[in-house]
Amino acid sequence: MSIIPKELENISTAVLKAALKIKEEAEKTALYKEIASLEEQILGKKSLLATLHGEAHVTKGKRGPKKGARGRKKGTGGRKTELKGAILEFLKSKGKEGAHVDDIVKHIGKPKANINAFLATTGKKNGVKAKGNRSGIYFIK
pLDDT tens digits, 55-70: 655 556 666 666 666 6
Neighbour-count burial for 11-20, b at 16+ CB within 10 Å, e otherwise: eeeeeeeeee
Give me the residue spans of the domains in the chain: 12-53, 79-140
| pLDDT range class, residue 1, cuts 50, 70, 90 | low
Fold designation for 79-140 = Arc Repressor Mutant, subunit A (1.10.10)
pLDDT band at 74; cut points 50, 70, 90 = low
Query: Any bridge partners for residue 84, and if so which?
Result: none
What percent of the residues of the chain are helix, what percent strand, and what percent coil, each to the nearest 5?
60, 10, 35
Encoded amino acid at 81, one letter: T
Q: What is the pLDDT of residue 46?
A: 86
Angle between helices 79-94 and 101-108 (to 10 degrees): 120
Label residue 47 exposed, middle or buried (CB < 10 Å: 0-12, 13-18, 19+). Answer: middle
What value does the mean pLDDT of the chain take? 82
CA torsion through residues 88, 90, 91, 95, sign: positive
Mean local confidence (pLDDT), 92-114: 91
The answer, as to whether pTM is greater than 0.75, is: no
Cα torsion angle, 70, 87, 118, 121, sign: positive
